[in-house]
Structure 1
């Protein structure tokens, strides 16, 4: 099967649930692995709770706390004060994922969702590459 591209328009910093877009790429009745790869250096991927919106907000705030914009040692600010912190946050989350699929169904836990984590303040068009490999 071919490599597919998902385009995601973000509204700026925050987690975007992309579980539905991921599920749409899975062939019906197929079992295998769906590989996902981020193509950017200032965002990332994560699987985590998708039921309670407060959990998403907590995760966003946690990463802001770990890499705030006001760190004195930051030098890479070519694209603004959120430039270097966005790269720091991106190294704390995943850039690739391997997701198991059984008979056309993504094997996530009951409360799990797949997120694109946008770490830049301004809206962006992000591209995620995917490839499904079946048994």
Structure 2
């Protein structure tokens, strides 16, 4: 088993492909088969697996979630860090902060059009920590 903490550089609000960053940081080539668990160490960002080719999909994700859970809604009481505070927590809970992915022949066993997204739900989220556990 191999466990590492990756620090992802700060990104603007939105959905960002991080598949290549993860693959380059981990010794996947050592495994013929196994599992990779990813756990984002934050409550205002998320991880999800989706379309990796057309960037308009990521923009549509942002538009949908920003409309579903708008900043500054008057019914949110938790706004200590700004209007995007509680909406970011809700989006994180809806999408989740972990993924369990197969490793096959030294690579992530993803479908042809699948990629790992970091959902950054804050205007100023900062660097994000990602705990990776590689088993196999």
Shift of 1:69: 1.1
Is the partner of 1:92 in helix, strand or coil? helix
- Contact preservation (8 Å) 1:26, 1:105: no
- Contact preservation (8 Å) 2:16, 2:58: no
Shift of 1:29: 4.5
Deviations along 1:17-39, one digit per CA (max 9) or x if unpaired, are: 11012212143151100010010
- Pick the aligned partner of 1:95 from 79, 94, 97: 97
CA distance in 2, matches of 1:121, 1:88: 15
Q: Is there any run of 5+ residues in structure 2 with no aligned partner, and where?
A: none
Shift of 1:62: 0.7
2:29 aligned partner: 28
Shift of 1:10: 2.4
More helix by share: 2
Alignment size in residue pairs: 134
TM-score (norm 2): 0.93
2:133 aligned partner: 131
Q: Does 1:8 align with 2:5?
A: no
Deviations along 1:20-75, one digit per CA (max 9) or x if unpaired, are: 12212143151100010010000010000010010110011111011001322111
Shift of 1:103: 1.4
Shift of 1:2: 3.3
- Pick the aligned partner of 1:73 from 68, 75, 80: 75
TM-score (norm 1): 0.93
5 Å-filtered alignment, 1:83-122, equals 83-122=85-124
5 Å-filtered alignment, 1:43-82, equals 43-82=45-84
> Please, what is the CA RMSD of the aligned residues?
1.2
